[in-house]
Amino acid sequence: MKLTGNTVFITGGGSGIGRGIAEALHNTGNKVIISGRRKSLLDEVTTANPGMGSLKLDIENASSIASASQTLIERYPDLNVVFNNAGIMQFDDAAGAIDENLLTSTITTNLLGPIRLTSALIEHLKKQKEAAVLYTTSWLAFTPFALTAVYCSTKAALHSYALSQRYKLRGTSVRVIEIVPPWTQTDMLNSTEEPRAIPLQECLDETMRLLGTDVDEVVLDRAKQLRNNVGPNEHPYVIEFNNWLLGVE
């Protein structure tokens, strides 16, 4: 992917990986617009990065997505990169009753939101000389963490959707790129101090380096074992991985 001269819209750009990539792209000569629900957080990021734009967006709300997409097209006619990064992760219990609010909000934010946003902007992107749609999935899309079963399922579904979309867009100017980060030191599940997680800056540096190549899947090194485990004999490693996360001997 070309890393300069783009007009980039990033969901979930107010914190964590989204903010880090937004700032990295801003600093390498791109026009960056971040979005999120909290205007105060967006203002904090744009103030720290003069020239960066923002647009309030509720990724759970279809009407908000439609309105924001129309505003983007009108305000930024050169928009050529859409980065679906916003996501939420909550503990659940697949062995019991799943809370309806958790189920609905996680699926709507992590799966329906990216599909709706990309759908609203795809015809505009096709008109650009070079364009890209990016999805942040997770290493857990391939080897799930059993205590966040709904989250992992949405990321697996988003991976599948990206594969289909990449096939359908072959021969167009639009590339589909999936970013597969490992456990990263962010606010998600209070992981900022987690020693087993990759430091945020290390995650950002590796992501940007790989984004500058021609790969369709930006699989960070620490995510490769989980990405490569998929197959008919994957279950033993699912058990091993979950035991490691939970400290089970």
**Gap between the Cα atoms of 30 and 49, Å rounded:** 12
Query: Residue 230's closest CA among 119, 144, 170?
Result: 144
What are the angstrom distances between the C-alpha of 237 and each of 37, 115, 121? 37, 30, 39
CB atoms within 10 A of CB 119: 13
Rg of the Cα atoms in the chain: 18
Q: Tokens standing for 75?
A: 């305000």
Catalytic residue among 76, 135, 151, 237: 151
152 and 230 in contact (C-beta within 8 Å)?
A: no
**Residue 38 exposed, middle or buried by CB count within 10 Å (0-12, 13-18, 19+):** exposed
Active site residue 161: no
Instruction: Please identify every residue annotated as catalytic.
Output: 151
